[in-house]
Each structure stands twice: as C-alpha cells, then as structure tokens.
Amino acid sequence: MLKEFVLTLVHYVLCLGVFLRQTVTNFPNSFGSFFKKAPLGRIRSDARNLKKLPLHVGLVIVENEYSYRDIANVIIWSVALGISYISVYDINGEIKRNYILLQKEIQTSKEEILASEKLKYDIEILSSNSRDKSRRDGGCSNIKQVKVNLLCEEDGKPSIIKVTKQLCRLVQASQYRIEDIVPNNVDSFFQDLTKFPDPDVVIKFGPVDSLLGFLPWQIRLTGILSFPSHKQITYKTFLSTLVSYGHTEQRHGK
C-alpha cells in the first residue's frame, strides 16, 4: 500500500515538473505576444500618460536583415499613440525598394491593432523616388493623416548639397542675402524639401554605434535612443523609448 502511494506521488511530481518546464519555456513567447498585441485602449491610455509625445519619430535600422512585420508594428503603435510623422532609414535603401512588402505588413498590423478604431487612418508611404506610394482612404472626412518617409543614404548628405546649391543660386540672383543664411532659415529650406518637421526622437536599432548618415542636419537637436535589434520588439519596449524621451530635458545648447 505504501509502495503504491509512493509511486503515485512520484508520478504526480514528475507530471508537475513537465508542466512547469513547458510553462517556463513558453512564457517568453506568450509574454512577448501579449505586448505585441497590446489593445488599442491600453495604447491610448499610455499616450495620455506620456509626459510629452513626439511629432516626428525616426527609426534607424543598422542591421543586416530586416523584419518588415516588426517595423510595421512600430509604425502602427506610433500611429495609435498619436504620432503623425515617422521616418524609416537604412543606409542602402533596401526598405525603400521593398516598400510594397512594408505596405502590406502595415495594413495587416493596422487591421489587428486599429480594428476597433472609429477614426480612419490614411497612412502615406513616401520616399524621394515617389512622393506617394500608399493606397489612400480618400472620400471620408473623418480621417487622420499620417506620413511615413522611407530614407536611405542619398537622403542625408546629398540633401545638404542640394540645399546649399539652392542657396547659392538665390544669392547669386540677388534673391537672398548671405546674412540671411542662418540655422532657422536653412531649416525652412529642408522642410520645404522633405515636407517633414525635424525628428524629435530617433530610435537606432542594431549593434553599430552610428546613425550611418541619417539626416545629419535635421537631428542636431534630436534625442537619440538605442536598442540591440528591431526584431521581435514588443510594445512595452517601444513605449519605454517614448517614456525616456519624455523625461529628457532639451537645453538647445544652453
């Protein structure tokens, strides 16, 4: 009788061990999935609790491979939080060339995260090659417009050269004075060129400690945060960057 009791007890202990091992093994995936599928109500609540919300977020990917689904998730989380401008940069322009793939992933993520939202979103995917590559939700007045700019190295230093040449031509034609070439005025030329405000915060993903040429003029006052990778990024991780940004004091050289 005692022998049977001991064997039964050992059996239950072994079963419990197997159950706990499976639970611990699967917990990270379940935990990450929970935050990847954060409900819209929670995202809106987080947006209200942020100390300040950026108007323009830059995403700089300095990795060899790209997860378009994870990039799309970050874009849609930004949209749900109320961010109107998002730039996505990789030095070689691979993301820009594969904009159709990114557009499909954005649509999938949009349907999952913003499905319960009554307000419609018109997410324009822009690049220097074609200013509007997205499908539009035109015909409805209840639309929130969001712009996503796909950038690469040619949109960095070459854009400075372009603006410099433009200023030189204006000075040569006596339409502009050399004394007027000051940072605030140069800003307006860049914003006319890109139709985007300067980034408030840039999030760099990858092991390289460099932005690899991302908008060198526009980020002189930008907060920069880094993460090891954009792959498998969770909503909680992304939100933490905006919380950090909110607690950063911008002294503007003072």
Domain boundaries, the chain: 1-36, 41-246
Q: Give the span between the Cα atoms of 230 and 172, in whole angstroms.
A: 46
CA-nearest of 103, 93, 158, 101 to 125 is: 103
The separation between CA 50 and the C-alpha centre of its own chain, rounded to angstroms, equals 17
pLDDT at 226 over 50: yes
Return the beta strands (E) in the chain as ranges.
Answer: 56-61, 85-89, 120-127, 143-151, 201-205, 223-227
Confidence of residue 103 (pLDDT cuts 50, 70, 90): very high
Q: What pLDDT, in 10s, does the model give residues 116-139?
A: 787 788 999 997 554 444 444 444
- 18 vs 224 pLDDT, higher one: 224
Where does the pLDDT of residue 140 fall: very low under 50, low under 70, confident under 90, or very high at 90 and above? low
What pLDDT is attached to residue 13?
A: 53
225 - beta bridge partners?
A: 203
Predicted local distance difference test score (pLDDT) of residue 38: 74
Q: What is the pLDDT of residue 131?
A: 46
What is the model's pLDDT at position 5?
52
Contact 82, 54 (CB under 8 A): no
Give the mean pLDDT of 27-33. Answer: 41
Residue 95 in contact with residue 71, Cβ under 8 Å? yes
Structure-block tokens of residue 231 = 């792959």
Range 7-23 average pLDDT: 48
Q: What percent of the chain has pLDDT over 90?
A: 47
| Residue 170 pLDDT greater than 90, yes or no | no
Mean pLDDT over the full length of the chain: 80
CATH of segment(s) 41-246 = 3.40.1180.10
